[in-house]
Amino acid sequence: MYTILSRLMIFLCLAIIVIAAFFWYIPLIKQNESMYRSLLQLEESLMKENERGIKLDNERTLIKIDPYTVEKYVRECYLYSRPYETVFIFKTELPFHHSSSTPGTNK
């Protein structure tokens, strides 16, 4: 009789220890999962920045080698033009704003 009770007590103590360890590690598991998600996001942003760096390196080499690329950037950014050349600048306007007043009426 005592051997059955002592075995039952040992089994219950071990079960309590396992359950306690499980609940003790739940916050660590959740923290690990959140850190893994943030790691994946950081790796994704790193890949995007690496691609952006490659594009910028290509543009830099084009600027060093190709004079037409330099001319294109100067024309676009600083609105330079050749002599006797007319440059048309199209400004984009904001979308039409609907007001309560109708055209032709003064309020």
For 38-93, write each residue's pLDDT tens digit.
999 999 999 999 999 999 999 899 989 988 888 888 888 887 888 888 877 777 77
103 occurs within a structural domain:
no
Count the domains in the chain: 1
70 occurs within a structural domain:
yes
* 1 pLDDT tier (thresholds 50, 70, 90): low
62 occurs within a structural domain:
yes
* 29 pLDDT tier (thresholds 50, 70, 90): very high
87 occurs within a structural domain:
no
CA distance 66 to 59: 10
Contacts of 79 (CB under 8 A, 6+ apart): 87, 89
59 occurs within a structural domain:
yes
Domain of residue 57 covers 7-78
95 occurs within a structural domain:
no
91 occurs within a structural domain:
no
Q: What is the pLDDT of residue 93?
A: 73
84 occurs within a structural domain:
no
